[in-house]
Structure 1
């Protein structure tokens, strides 16, 4: 088994889920798996986010009388550079052990390739060029955001070029197609 946090990242990129919870799952299901120790933010009555430190889940709905519909979740890997142990909740720590403060993209990519799980680079949105690079796993629809270059404001949280900034799912094939068309 791959040690520590690498196993978590490999699982998320390979499956598009975290401990079996996917981006479309309900708030109740996420709470059953990850626990209730999160901060919850609502934006009006149509959007909600639960922040578990390392991971954030997002939902939306058409109106206040409708149920929440899962939108996406993001592993905010860059937050680990703060070396705050409380960012990784007990459930994740029990499953995966210690999480390192940084994740090198090259290492993640090599381990995924050994498993037959390719990551394809997709064009970055213009506001993020050249500071970030995005890689996509088409089967799981997971996007990996990587620090692309250093600059005065381009390396948040003291990350280095080649460090993973975040892992998010889903990134739909239509978005990838749109990014590629826009990039020419």
Structure 2
């Protein structure tokens, strides 16, 4: 893993944003940061996403005459295992350089701890356990999904145990508390 792409992931976990663009930003604000190279999916008048390859932003709204409100941000890190260079947005590549096909969780976690940013393991929902493990950063509300064990669905996209599958934000403290109370 190049130091620059590791810095990207560390920045996301630390801030809960991609180059400063976060879930509170409008679609136009995100486009100002990440550029116009995206695929837009409108699910209805109430729900929309923009896929920038390695970053997906989601919005919703009460009705067509209301503004979009940020819902969540996902980084489908597992897509990099396909080795498709177009998955990394030009803006991200210009800032962080080359991205390798896998992200080892242990290395990311060690570097974040040096930065003073802990990741806490939280209970996994039963449908995903034990194949995935989830770690949470309480300040940025970022959740990191990691391949936990081998199984029929546990190592998609040629990933290995210990590889990061995805990241998303926000994961509210109430969800973490619910998981701990119900599943812990």
Q: TM-score, normalised by structure 1?
A: 0.97
Q: Which ranges in structure 1 are unaligned for 5 or more consecutive residues?
A: none
Q: Distance in 2 between matches of 1:42 and 1:182?
A: 34
- 1:10-159 equivalences under 5 Å are 10-159=10-159
Question: Which residue number corresponds to residue 7 of structure 1?
Answer: 7
Once the two structures are superposed, what CA deviation does each residue of 1:68-122 show, in whole Å capped at 9, x if it has no partner? 0001111110000000000001100011000010000000000000011000001
- CA shift for structure 1 position 40: 0.5
1:128 aligned counterpart, secondary structure: coil
Q: Distance in 1 between matches of 2:49 and 2:162?
A: 28
Q: Distance in 2 between matches of 1:26 and 1:123?
A: 32
- CA shift for structure 1 position 3: 1.5
- CA shift for structure 1 position 11: 0.3
Q: Distance in 2 between matches of 1:125 and 1:46?
A: 27
Question: Which residue number corresponds to residue 168 of structure 2?
Answer: 168
1:167 aligned counterpart, secondary structure: strand
Moved over 6 A (4+): none
Once the two structures are superposed, what CA deviation does each residue of 1:3-36 show, in whole Å capped at 9, x if it has no partner? 2210000000011111011111100000101011
- CA shift for structure 1 position 126: 1.2
Once the two structures are superposed, what CA deviation does each residue of 1:25-83 show, in whole Å capped at 9, x if it has no partner? 10000010101111100111111010111110000011111100001111110000000
Q: Distance in 1 between matches of 2:106 and 2:134?
A: 13
Give the aligned length.
Answer: 183
Q: TM-score, normalised by structure 2?
A: 0.97
Q: Distance in 2 between matches of 1:147 and 1:45?
A: 35
Q: Distance in 1 between matches of 2:112 and 2:51?
A: 27
Q: Distance in 1 between matches of 2:127 and 2:53?
A: 26
